[in-house]
Amino acid sequence: MRPYPSPARSADAYGLQDEPTNHLDVKNVAWVENFLITLKDVTCMLVSHDSGFLDRVCTDIIHYENRKLKRYRGNLSEFVKQKPEARSYYELSAATIKFTFPEPGYLEGVKTKDKGILKMSRVGFRYPGGDRQILTGVSIYCSLSSRVAIHGANGAGKSTMIKLLTGELEPLEGTVWKHPNLRMAYVAQHAFHHIEEHLDKTPNQYIQWRYALGEDREEAEKVYRQVTKEEEEKMAQSISINGVKVVAELLLGRRKLKNSYEYEVQWVGQPPDKNMWIPRAQLEAMGFGKMVQEVDAKEAARLGLYARPLTQAVIAKHLEDFGLESEFSTHSLMAGLSGGQKVKVVLGAAMWNNPHMLILDEPTNYLDRDSLGALAGAIQEYGGGVLLITHNNEFSSALCQEKWTVADGVLTAEGGNVSAREKIEWKPEVDEVIDALGNTIKVRALPCACALHAANTAAGPLSTDQEEAHQEGAEAEAEGPEGQNRARGRRQH
């Protein structure tokens, strides 16, 4: 809050600003600060959770306590001196609430936390109709141990790079690869866009709608799942199988094939007993890359959701882990929630499928200091990888060992993961769930890494060559096509 003007001043001498630093980079925040400080004869009332901003701009603090507003003289530092229990404004660890993220499930072939599960190689991009190259030659590598802060000025291309990683955009140059079973949670810079068409629903109803089909509806709508006209024409071309020309109609499922997968293909006009299993690489060469990715995405979603009944009680408990009480998640429409509560809904909905990678674009917007501290604590304890775009240096420096800076379309990486070679001990998956009627249902647990090894050795000890081949195959699968080619070359040698 800035000083009061004299009574003789007109009404336009007052300024009301709600979260004025949201979405602004460091340079623009500094401009706003300098502008407000120079307004000597204007009263500004600000709502903000940016501690540094409040310290440098405010002369008075109005605090909401016991359903009343109480005014304190001085900036935020002076306020905390008078009210020590508010120290969470400066210490993320002093948060009075706690968030709990779901642990990512088993990821086939990934034995160590530094194994690549999401990669971008020499990617270039510019928007259709635009002359400006947004990104040039960007290469990145993400793993379960990744804790990456992405910095750069507004408009540098940070959000564009994230959209390329998540499949909302497709690169014009280079490639983006992800583990076939990878699940990602993405919260966009303008987080409310995820829910803006569902404000007449409760948070609980929104999650039920979003995952009612067995996978994330947002994932199904991404560009990498949409087949273009050119791709349709290529897939409609006939191919010769055993001297008979046929046209592929659908991919019905997949199964393991050495270090990759093969997919069941249904042919146009042919009965089910004529279906064939065709390797992934061959289907991609035939133009079925997006249909292959669709099968992969559905299988990844199934693995993440098989033990999570989409019931009101389970969803309410899930949202409580993100700081949203059941009173709001089950009985309040999202149109009536505060900005911070909406962010919790979006974050909780994105992580319903037990993701392996969490990607956050400006996650600190609208969150109060306690929620910000709770988010930081949850990220520190989370077993998956995290990429976050933020201009909040306090938040990113407390969490991230690695820093990517985007400027002039080029990415520069600094730092790295201190626990890169940490072995993963996959915890046994849930072996029973409770359905909507309260019945306990036994489910088949997914094999963890140690269970796979035990199953193999139960029939007899593996030879050294078998053990090495088993490990090599699993690692090659996790590394994608490049890893599989290297593994194939070593076996031929």
Domain boundary among 300, 325, 352: 300
| Whether the Cβ atoms of residue 289 and residue 283 lie closer than 8 Å to each other | yes
Q: Provide the pLDDT for residue 415.
A: 83
Please give the structure tokens belonging to residue 258: 């050495």
Task: Round to whole Å and give the CA distance between 323 and 249.
Answer: 46
Is pLDDT at 331 greater than 60 in this prediction?
Answer: yes
Q: Phi, psi (5° rounding) for residue 328? A: -85, -35
The answer to whether residue 318 is domain-embedded is: no
Q: Which phi and psi angles does 140 have, rounded to 5°?
A: -140, 165
Which pLDDT value is given to residue 11? Answer: 44
Residue 15: give its domain's CATH number. 3.40.50.300
Of 41, 64, 90, the residue at which a domain comes to its end is 90
Q: Looking at the domain assignment, is residue 271 inside a domain?
A: yes
Average pLDDT over residues 283-305: 87
Is 62 part of any domain?
yes
* Segments forming the whole domain that contains residue 476: 432-488
Instruction: Give percent of the chain above pLDDT 90.
Output: 37
How many CA atoms lie within 13 Å of 441's alpha carbon, on the beta-carbon side? 13
Confidence band for 462, pLDDT divided at 50, 70 and 90: very low
SS (H, E, C) 298-350: HHHHHHHHCCCCCCHHHHHHHHHCCCCCHHHHHHCCHHHCCHHHHHHHHHHHH
For 414, phi then psi, to 5°, come to: -135, 150
Pairing of strands 135-142, 60-65: unpaired
Per the structure, how many domains does the chain have?
Answer: 3
Give domain status of residue 146, yes or no: no
Q: Is a pLDDT exceeding 90 seen at residue 76?
A: no
pLDDT of residue 436: 55
| pLDDT of amino acid 427 | 54
Render 190-229 in DSSP notation, one character per residue: SGGGGTTT-TTS-HHHHHHHHTTTSS-HHHHTSGGGSPPH
Mean pLDDT of 422-432: 54
- 13: confidence class by pLDDT, cuts 50, 70, 90: low
Q: Which residue has the higher pLDDT, 449 or 203?
A: 203
Q: 466 lies in a domain?
A: yes
Q: What pLDDT is stored for residue 111 in this prediction? A: 86
- Give the range among 275-284, 376-385, 419-428, 452-461 with minimum mean pLDDT: 452-461
Q: State yes or no: pLDDT of 20 exceeds 90.
A: no
Residue 367 domain flag: no
Q: Give the lowest-confidence range in 90-104, 258-272, 456-470.
A: 456-470
**Residue 234 falls within a domain, yes or no?**
yes
What pLDDT, on a 0 to 100 scale, did the predictor assign at position 155? Answer: 87
Residue 190 lies in a domain: no
- pLDDT tens per residue, range 364-387: 888 888 888 899 999 999 999 999
Better-scored residue on pLDDT, 488 or 73: 73
List the CATH number of the domain containing 270.
2.40.50.990
Q: Mean pLDDT lowest for which of 145-149, 330-334, 433-437?
A: 433-437
User: In the predicted model, is pLDDT for residue 234 greater than 50?
Assistant: yes
User: For all residues of the chain together, what is the average pLDDT?
Assistant: 81
| Per-residue pLDDT at 451 | 31
Instruction: Among 260, 281, 300, give the residue marking a domain's end.
Output: 300
> What is the mean pLDDT of the segment spanning 327-333?
95
- Mean pLDDT to the nearest integer, 28-41: 87
The confidence score (pLDDT) of residue 419 equals 47
Please determine, for residue 493, whether its predicted confidence score (pLDDT) is greater than 50: no
Alpha-carbon span 459 to 92, nearest angstrom: 52
pLDDT at 165: 92
> Positive or negative, the Cα torsion across 3, 7, 11, 13?
negative
- Looking at residue 478, its pLDDT comes to 43
